Amino acid sequence: MGMKQAMAIQIPCRECPLRQLPLFITHSAEELELLQALKQRELRLAAGETLILEGQTDTPLFTLLSGWAFRFKTLSDGRRQILNFLLAGDFIGVQQKMGDAAAHGVTTLTDSLFCVFQRDALWELHRRSPVMGFNTTWLIAHEESLVDDSLLSVGRRSAEERIASLLILLFKRAAALQLDGGAAGVPFPLTQQHMADALGLSLVHTNKTLRKLEKRGLHELKDGRLYLRDARALTRLADVWGDGKPTPRPLV
C-alpha cells in the first residue's frame, strides 16, 4: 500500500467546494453538522496509490473530494477487472461494510483528496437522519447502475460500442463537475490499459478502436483531456439513453 498522508488543514463540510456545483443537492445545516461530526480527517494520495486493498478489513468510509480513482478485482494470476471509475463526490467503502473484508480494491488514477469518515458512519447516518440515510442508499444504487452499464458493455456491446459508451459516460460525469459543462473538454487520466481492463478488451484492440473512432471525428484525446467532437454520433453508436443532463445527487 502506498504512503498515505493525513491533511493538517481540513475543509469544513459547509465550505466544501463541491457543494457550490449545481450537480449536488442542498443539505440542511443539521445534515451538514452531522457529516462534520462523523468526519475524522482528510487524506491525500498520489496517483497510483492504493486506498483500499482487496481483502482489507476495518476500513473507514470515504468521499472523494477531488481527483479520479477506480474500483477493481484481480484474479490469482494478476488479471484485473476494473469495476467502475470514481470521480469527485463519490462515496467509497460501503461494500466492505456488508462483509468481513473488502471484496475489491480502490486505487487512485490521479493525485486525490478524500474525506475520511468513522467506521460506523453508515449506521449513524441512518440512525440520526432518515434523509441522510436515504442519500447514502441513493449513492449506493447510483454506483450499482454504473456497474450494471459496465456489465452490459462487456457482455453485449461491440468494441466500438464499449469504448463509445465509456467515453460518453465519463465525459458526462466529469463535465458535471465543471462550471463550463465540458465546453473546453474534461480531464481524462485513463490509460489505454485502464480502458482495456474496464471493457474486457485487449490493449491492441483498444488502441485500434480508439484510433478508428478518432479518425471518424467522434472524439479527441489530447494532453490528458477528452473532447467530444460529435457527441450525437458517439451517443448513437454507444446506444446510451438519456438527454445528457446529470441527475442532481446528494453529497456525503
Q: Examine the pLDDT at 251 and tell me if it is beyond 60.
A: yes
Q: Examine the pLDDT at 1 and tell me if it is beyond 50.
A: no
Please give the Cα distance from 131 to 30 (Å, whole number): 11
Q: Examine the pLDDT at 6 and tell me if it is beyond 60.
A: no
**Do both 234 and 190 map to the same domain?**
yes
Last residue of a domain, one of 91, 107, 133: 133
**Do both 129 and 159 map to the same domain?**
no
Q: What is the pLDDT of residue 59?
A: 85
Strands 5-6, 112-117: parallel, antiparallel or unpaired by DSSP? unpaired
Q: What is the mean pLDDT of the chain?
A: 90
Query: Per-residue confidence at 151, pLDDT binned at 50, 70, 90?
Result: confident
Q: Name the residue with higher pLDDT: 75 or 247.
A: 75
User: pTM for this structure?
Assistant: 0.91
Average pLDDT over residues 81-109: 87
**Do both 48 and 100 map to the same domain?**
yes
Q: Examine the pLDDT at 110 and tell me if it is beyond 50.
A: yes
Q: Name the residue with higher pLDDT: 60 or 101.
A: 60
Sign of CA dihedral 85, 240, 228, 174: negative
Cell of 196: 482495456
Helix, strand or coil, per DSSP, at residue 80: strand
Last residue of a domain, one of 133, 159, 188: 133
**Do both 125 and 192 map to the same domain?**
no
Q: Which domain holds residue 105?
A: 5-133
Average pLDDT over residues 94-114: 84
Least trusted range by pLDDT, from 21-30, 131-140, 159-168, 237-246: 237-246
Q: What is the pLDDT of residue 98?
A: 62
Last residue of a domain, one of 104, 133, 162: 133
Q: Examine the pLDDT at 82 and tell me if it is beyond 90.
A: yes
Count of domains for the chain: 2
Greatest pairwise CA separation for the chain in angstroms:
54
CATH of residue 58: 2.60.120.10
